[in-house]
């Protein structure tokens, strides 16, 4: 099998890249180890930056997004039982975010590929990316019990943190930066309308809490818990009680409760792999970087990566120049590190670390009070949350 671009992974990065290449007239094949049903129900991020929604619309994947997505013009910060809203459009020149689950983004892009191409091969287990430093890289994969080879001019590694693509970059040229956090998120989906019409980020002495949503009838909520916690360690009643405690305000706001349909624990880590390119292999999304989830940057960073890559590949096809391809890693990493900074700042602003002192608590409250009383500080948060412009 032969194509121009072999794409490893059918998450939002791989699927969007395939769509952008299809629109640019560049042939590609997507290989995904899981089946379609798994990809379309895999719960991940749910907040799309302004730039991400613009790209999806331009790619023809905006119809259901515009119909069902929940557009948000701000978030609410809670601390000391006080509420403070950060309005985005006024602070960012009109930018906002949209709540629309990653599962839905994948469904939309898969439907486009099904009707308009390119081919997406599900249950195709990628075994290795080979000869990445030559003019003829190969992707070796297993499908229907048989090993096959995809020969291509370029490979896009969009297979996530645990995928095989990054392993094709020799250790001698790799640099890894990261940190692990000593807490995690216990997340629940609940069949109850959200108790607030925008996302609520709460800093509390007992730990962080987040009130989010998936739809007007489904709430998504999170609690900070110690690293290594299992979801079975918390009963539904304990989760609701703790959420109510941490989200409490002085004005009598109440948290609506309902049936919990799903529990999971998300570890917290920051990770960057440099470079994001080796030969004709280009890493994108979680294959190259991980951010803690507080800033909602993971999916949005992946979109930024594949936009840069698609433009570079289209430029090379049109002009014969590899200038943009050669700049891919540096171009993406500038945005990646700004997102890492923002996500780290927001995480340490809102979470109480084990062993935190009274001095640490006062510093957190002072930082939050600064955001609540300073337009420039609020604008920095709003600009980071709604997303840096795509390169």
Tell me the catalytic residues.
Answer: 72, 201, 293, 297, 385
CB 112 within 8 A of CB 20: no
Question: 85 — phi, psi (to 5°)?
Answer: -95, 135
CA distance 168 to 157: 10
State the burial class of residue 37 (Cβ atoms within 10 Å of its Cβ: 0-12, 13-18, 19+): exposed
**Inter-CA distances, 166 with 27, 58, 150, 379, Å:** 23, 30, 17, 36
CA distance 135 to 238: 57
Q: Cβ of 32: how many Cβ atoms within 10 Å?
A: 26
Report residue 191 as tokens: 């069949």
Please, which residues have CB within 8 angstroms of residue 282's CB and are 6 or more apart in sequence?
154, 155, 156, 157, 276, 309, 325, 328
How many helices and strands in the chain, by DSSP H and E? 12, 20
CB 260 within 8 A of CB 266: no
């Amino acid at each position: 099998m032969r194509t121009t671009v072999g794409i490893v992974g059918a998450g939002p990065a791989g699927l969007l890249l395939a769509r952008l290449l299809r629109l640019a007239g560049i042939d590609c094949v997507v290989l995904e180890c899981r089946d379609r049903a798994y990809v379309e129900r895999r719960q991940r991020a749910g907040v799309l930056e302004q730039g991400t929604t613009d790209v999806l619309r331009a790619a023809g994947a905006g119809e259901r997004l515009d119909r069902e997505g929940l557009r948000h013009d701000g978030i609410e910060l809670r601390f000391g039982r006080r509420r403070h809203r950060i309005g985005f459009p006024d602070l960012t020149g009109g930018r906002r975010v949209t709540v629309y689950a990653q599962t839905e983004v994948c469904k939309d892009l898969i439907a486009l590929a099904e009707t308009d191409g390119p081919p997406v091969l599900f249950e195709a287990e990628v075994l290795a990316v080979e000869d990445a430093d030559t003019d003829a890289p190969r992707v070796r994969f297993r499908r229907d019990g048989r090993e096959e080879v995809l020969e291509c001019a370029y490979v896009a590694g969009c297979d996530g943190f645990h995928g095989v693509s990054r392993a094709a970059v020799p250790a001698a040229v790799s640099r890894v930066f990261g940190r692990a956090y000593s807490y995690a998120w216990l997340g629940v989906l609940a069949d109850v309308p959200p108790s607030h019409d925008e996302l609520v980020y709460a800093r509390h002495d007992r730990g962080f809490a987040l009130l989010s949503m998936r739809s007007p009838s489904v709430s998504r909520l999170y609690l900070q818990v110690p690293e290594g916690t299992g979801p079975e360690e918390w009963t539904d009643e304990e989760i609701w009680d703790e959420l109510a405690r941490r989200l409490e305000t002085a004005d009598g706001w109440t948290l609506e409760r309902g049936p919990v349909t799903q529990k999971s624990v998300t570890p917290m880590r920051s990770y960057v792999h440099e470079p994001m390119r080796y030969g004709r292999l280009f890493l994108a999304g979680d294959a190259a970087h991980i951010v803690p989830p507080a800033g909602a940057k993971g999916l949005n960073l992946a979109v930024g990566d594949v936009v840069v890559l698609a433009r570079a590949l289209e430029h090379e096809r049109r002009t014969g120049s590899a200038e943009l391809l050669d700049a891919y890693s540096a171009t993406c990493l500038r945005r990646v590190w700004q997102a890492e900074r923002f996500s780290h700042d927001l995480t340490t602003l809102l979470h109480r670390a084990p062993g935190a002192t009274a001095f640490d608590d006062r510093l957190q409250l002072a930082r939050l009070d600064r955001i609540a009383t300073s337009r420039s500080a609020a604008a920095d948060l709003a600009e980071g949350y709604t997303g840096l412009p795509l390169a």
